[in-house]
Amino acid sequence: MSQLIRIGMDTSKKVFQLHGVDADERVVLSRKLSRHQMIRFFANLPPTVIGIEACGASHHWARTLGALGHEVRLMAPQLVKPYVRRSKNDAADAEALCEAMSRPTMRFVPVKTVGQQAALMLVGMRERLIGRRTQLANSIRGYAAEFGVTAPVGLSRVAPFLQQIASEETLPPLARDLFAQMAEEYEGLMEQIRDLDKNLATWHRSQEVSRRLSGIPGIGPLAAALLLMKAPDPHLFRSGRDFAAWIGLTPRDHSSGGKVRHGGITRAGDSRLRSTLVVGATTVLRHVRQNGQSRLATPWLLSLLSRKKPKPAAVALANRMARIAWKLMTSGETYRKPMDAVALAAAAAC
């Protein structure tokens, strides 16, 4: 067999399809292996470049094959899809991976360490529990409405509402027992979420970069942790705009024929990170609208509020927050608060 220069590997739980080429771009490897066969194959193979789609367990295989001396490159599925020549199957996917990784403009996903994977697991568990809490709260409201009992709005009022239901004499005994079970389940979920929040806060305090990011207005411990956990190496981006575009906070381009047309945001990247930044920006805007003399009321922000509706303004501010976060992560600097409108006016009068 000729010397392999790169191998595309389509992964699954049990079967691994390999597609390799030599220096003349001739196919010299097309093989389907089991898990144990794949590990033995690469253990006996001279170091080469391996392309894998960034999917479930891909970071584990990248670390495993990297320990064997190979160079592993992870690629986003949407960037590999255009190189699939035929109908989808394992062999076609492996060939597309091998072809895609040869492109000079291809972007690769950094391999995460086991520590980063554990931190992401913490965030994932928190998201799952919050989803269960929301589902349970909606069920409680729905069941109570069937008995003519209206629940107040807000998650903070669910626990007092359950205490009210426990003493509601008009409810049948069976319904009160079931509401009591839901109250116990709700309290258990709240306790688990509080424990995860404590672990997340501990992780945040242990990371110097995360602490610096939390100094940006609108970025709290959760958003700072998500930026550090989910974003790739910031040095891979040429500018803060590229970083904001990766998150999906830049307008979609529909330009043609010399005419510029911008649509809504692209919604690329991680949806949880993007939504967290937008929620933080919304909080800042609400604070500025309520208190125009706040230190957060910079001339740029006041001008933005005068020109844009609340939602586009929040997205624009989230875009700015992402760019500032990129700058702090790449430079190692600490956020410096800009002068507010009142301070600027006083300085201009002097």
Residues 95-106 have pLDDT tens digits of 999 999 999 999
DSSP classification of residue 56: T
| Contact of 90 with 32, CB cutoff 8 Å | yes
Cα angle value 268/50/11 (rounded, 5°) = 70
Cα angle value 334/217/288 (rounded, 5°) = 145
Phi, psi (rounded to 5 degrees) for 264: -75, 180
Does an H or E element contain 184, and which?
Answer: helix 173-206
The band of 349, judged by pLDDT with boundaries at 50, 70 and 90, is low
Looking at residue 345, what is its pLDDT? 54
Torsion of CA 75, 323, 277, 58, to 10 degrees: 10
Mean pLDDT, the chain, integer: 91
Q: Which of 54-63, 134-143, 290-299, 325-334 has the lowest mean pLDDT?
A: 290-299
- Kindly report the number of other CB atoms within 10 A of residue 277's CB atom: 28
Query: What are 153's two structure tokens?
Result: 């709005």
What is the pLDDT averaged over residues 236-253? 91
Pairing mode, strands 15-21 and 27-34 = antiparallel
What residue segments make up the domains of the chain, in order of their start? Answer: 4-109, 114-206, 208-345
| Contact of 234 with 329, CB cutoff 8 Å | yes
- Kindly report the number of other CB atoms within 10 A of residue 318's CB atom: 27
| Contact of 130 with 109, CB cutoff 8 Å | no
CATH of domain 4-109: 3.30.420.140
Residues 175-193 have pLDDT tens digits of 999 999 999 999 999 999 9
Report the predicted TM-score, pTM, of the whole model to 2 decimal places.
0.82
What is the pLDDT averaged over residues 145-170? 89
Torsion of CA 86, 102, 97, 62, to 10 degrees: 180
Residues 20-39 have pLDDT tens digits of 999 999 999 999 999 999 99
Looking at residue 239, what is its pLDDT? 94
Percent of the chain with pLDDT over 70: 96
What CA–CA distance (Å, rounded) separates 221 from 200?
8
